[in-house]
Chain A
Amino acid sequence: MMDVEVIENSNKCARCNYCRVCPIYTVEGWESASPRGKLYTIKSLVNGEIDVDARVVKELFKCTTCGSCEVICQVEIPLINLWENFRAHLNSKGYILPVHKKLREKTFREWNPYGESREKRADWFKDLKNLTSTNSDLLYFAGCTASYRTLSIARDTVELFNKTGLDFNYAGVDEYCCGSPFLRTGQRDLAQKLFLKNYKKWKEMGIRRIVTSCAGCYRTIAKDYPKIAEKLDYDFDFEVLHTVQILDEIVDEIDFEDVDVKATYHDPCHLGRHMGVYEEPRRVIEKMGIELIEMEKNRENAFCCGAGGGVKSQFKELALAIGELRVKEALNTNADYLISCCPFCKLHISQSLNNFDKNINVLDIVEVVIRTLNK
């Protein structure tokens, strides 16, 4: 049975097409890829006017869950939830895209969607082990991307914690994917499994606060985990933070070198639109003495990097085309740095930069902080 809310909400659409701001629609230009078109597809499916086929399923999964449509929608349809619920419905009917299925299989094997060895998850941390405090109730949750792809973000984060005297603990190889890719692509069963594994470990470790580098992990642990916990009748009494929120609190006490650089800031969708964190990173950037030049689309209206919601894995070219539009906007600012607060955004934006002659340094905010600390 399809969620009644999905049906009711898809019927509310006024068809004004203001959601043409969608990054997928911006690149593809077909109604089937637009939020309005997707809602009409759902409505037509519900009314039995069209049949599901491979193409329809593919179109419905072309969505980074960036939330731009939700922000602009004049009828205030909770679209992010709607997309996720409908994907869960498609999954329950056995419709799953091939690459998403592979991610699922890899995660069942190694507990990360990259399919990297579980044993190697904490390799980035090998020479930093002495920095942790097993007594601390603050957990650093690095997430899959920082653990396997953009290791410097994880390394710089723990170094920063150490330099600023922040005690923290780390679960090592017992850190499991948070489940974000699976929640976004409708695979809720696997997300629940991952929740249980992480939850058990955190309880064993006596954790009360969790801080993560990744915008996707942050949204998942702060917003989705409490819901899963409620469903399973578990208590969820963790305080969940993103690194930038900690940075915002301690930035006044950090001694920075004088710098003469300009930077622009990319709002990760899962940190900005999903969680409302817009000002903290900007405050930190300014306190570092860096001149911030905003891109044309910023804060609530920021353009997605193109990677989220299972798009990067399943629709590589589409994800890159979206990334390139964001890069173009960043290059137009003539800034020296493009700063973000998400390992996945960093990874994808860096790859999207490959086709440009002009360059810009793509860095996570923590990496910038570490580089500008007064030695």
Chain B
Amino acid sequence: MEQLKNQFQLEVSKKFRRFDFHPVQRKLYSYDLSEPPKLLKRFLGIADVVIQPESKEEVYEILKIAKKYRMPVIPRGSATSAYGGVLPYKGGIVVDFTRLNDFEVDEDKKLLISGAGVVWWDVQKELVKRGLSLRVYPTSAPSSTVGGWIGQGGYGVGSLKYGSIAENVEWVEVVDFNGIGVKEPSKFVGLEGTTGLIVSAAIKLKDYDDDRALAFNVNIEDSIKLMSKSKAHTAFFYNDKYVELLKETRSLKIDDGNILLLTFESVSNTVSDGDEEVGELLWQDRFYPFRMRKISNLICVEVVLPIQKLIDFSKKIEKLPFIVMFSKTDALILILLTVQGEVKYSTWLQTMKLIKIAEKYNGKVYSPGLWFSYKSDKLLSNFEVLRSYKREVDEYNLLNPGKIFPFGPIHRLIKLADLVVR
């Protein structure tokens, strides 16, 4: 065993320029945004090594070594996700993609051809200089990566008009045990690297236009009406409890009550009323949903519901601060839970209770990741197709094991808790 470990270390040291076996570095590449309670932490491993590939060929070399030593491979962007996707649950090689950070712009086709490690806001700044812009980006854009958001999937700024990230990826270039190849994205977006590691992707762009943000003091019913008939690219709803918190932490000069924020490309803005000053304040604040942690520890529960069910569901959570991010058909709701002291098992039970309530309204948890992999068959419409693809390309279950496709004890423990919660 020890001999095999030494051999592995030697091979990694010979093949790669950027790697680290130090125990503290390995620990630093073994967390994400989630705070698992002690009970779950016991089942979580840490990385055996961290490698920072500098080319797609190096990524392929990593997979060859992984296969040889039967080591799990965990892709990692900026680790700003919160579903356990980047956790080296069973140990293994953490592949830090941040060095694959080159990009090109095809101005004619309005496509960004981007390395997996490119950070969204870095590339947006360059695009703007060329008169182009991303159509969608996550509100973690100042740090999150192209590969990370594609791997995670989801909605972001721009999703009201342009849909989820899945609808904005033209193709992905993927490395699996068979080699490197360009693929159609549906088996990779939101699959957290379980079906292959994304090394680059083509992302749809739009012409740049100034954003114009307007705020409206309206309740959720009116927000839905206003939002649906507007030509906004982004719509966020902040409930009164959230606005209260926002005012406390940011000393923003805004009125109490619910707020709808609509943001338009200035050419397509047909709405003239709405508060521009408050709109601009909230728009500038879009990257900072965690400011509230300044005053107390909190965790964020994220559920997605069909828009028609939002009004009824919102009544169930009206006492809690929440934000809604709208897509064309769905509402992504971020509910904030204040936590006294450290995150305990009971906090997780509370989270699951909220998810359960959402499920009664045809809602679902935002992403399976590690924690909710036992729900994948319900979260992903083509789960069986994906599972058979996974089996085909990953014979030994080395590609981010335990994520999306349930494996090991963690999903069972959480499922058990799920059964307990009423």
Residues in A lying within 8 Å of B, measured CB to CB: 11-12, 14-18, 20, 29-32, 37, 40-41, 44, 49-50, 53, 55-56, 59, 72, 74-76
A359 CB to closest chain B CB (Å) equals 26
Contact among A12, A14, A37, A74 for B28, CB-based, below 8 A: A37
Q: Given A12-B293, A31-B29 in contact, is the A41-B24 Cβ separation under 8 Å?
A: yes
Q: Given A15-B31, A31-B29, A75-B290 in contact, is the A55-B142 Cβ separation under 8 Å?
A: no
Contact A17–B52 (Cβ < 8 Å): no
Residues of A within 8 A of B33 (CB): 14-16
What is the chain B residue whose CB lies nearest that of A14? Answer: B290
Contact among B18, B50, B294 for A76, CB-based, below 8 A: B294
B143 CB to closest chain A CB (Å) equals 4
The 8 A-B residue pairs with the shortest CB-CB distance, nearest first, are: A31-B28, A17-B143, A14-B290, A74-B288, A37-B28, A75-B293, A17-B78, A18-B142
Contact A15–B32 (Cβ < 8 Å): yes
Write out, one digit per residue, whether chain B residues 64-90 have a CB within 8 A of any chain A CB (1) or not (0). Answer: 000000000000001110000000000
Q: Given A32-B24, A50-B23 in contact, is the A74-B291 Cβ separation under 8 Å?
A: yes
Residues of A within 8 A of B79 (CB): 15, 17
Classify the interface of chain B: helix, strand, loop or mixed.
loop
Instruction: Please name 24 pairs of A and B residues whose Cβ atoms are closer than 8 Å in the assembled complex, sorted by A.
Output: A12-B294, A12-B297, A14-B33, A15-B33, A16-B80, A16-B140, A16-B142, A17-B79, A17-B144, A18-B143, A20-B78, A29-B98, A30-B52, A31-B25, A31-B28, A32-B24, A32-B25, A32-B28, A41-B24, A56-B24, A74-B290, A75-B291, A75-B294, A76-B294
B187 within 8 A of A: no
Write out, one digit per residue, whether chain B residues 311-355 have a CB within 8 A of any chain A CB (1) or not (0). Answer: 000000000000000000000000000000000000000000000
Residues of B within 8 A of A37 (CB): 28
Contact A41–B28 (Cβ < 8 Å): yes
Tell me, in angstroms, the Cα distance from A147 to B325 when the chains sit together. Answer: 58
Contact A16–B294 (Cβ < 8 Å): no
Tell me, in angstroms, the Cα distance from A50 to B288 when the chains sit together. Answer: 31
- Which residues of B from 1 to 52 have beta carbons under 8 Å from A? 18, 20, 22-25, 27-29, 31-33, 50, 52
Tell me, in angstroms, the Cα distance from A74 to B23 when the chains sit together. Answer: 29
With contacts A14-B290, A55-B22, A74-B293 known, what are 19 further pairs, Cβ within 8 A? A12-B294, A14-B293, A15-B31, A16-B80, A16-B143, A17-B144, A20-B78, A20-B119, A20-B143, A29-B99, A30-B50, A31-B28, A37-B28, A41-B28, A50-B27, A72-B142, A74-B288, A75-B291, A75-B293
What is the chain B residue whose CB lies nearest that of A38? Answer: B28
Tell me, in angstroms, the Cα distance from A101 to B125 when the chains sit together. Answer: 43
Tell me, in angstroms, the Cα distance from A11 to B294 when the chains sit together. Answer: 11
Q: Given A40-B28, A76-B294 in contact, is the A30-B20 Cβ separation under 8 Å?
A: yes
Tell me, in angstroms, the Cα distance from A12 to B29 when the chains sit together. Answer: 19
Contact B31–A16 (Cβ < 8 Å): no
Tell me, in angstroms, the Cα distance from A14 to B296 when the chains sit together. Answer: 11
Residues of A within 8 A of B144 (CB): 17
Residues of A within 8 A of B287 (CB): 18, 74
Tell me, in angstroms, the Cα distance from A16 to B33 when the chains sit together. Answer: 8
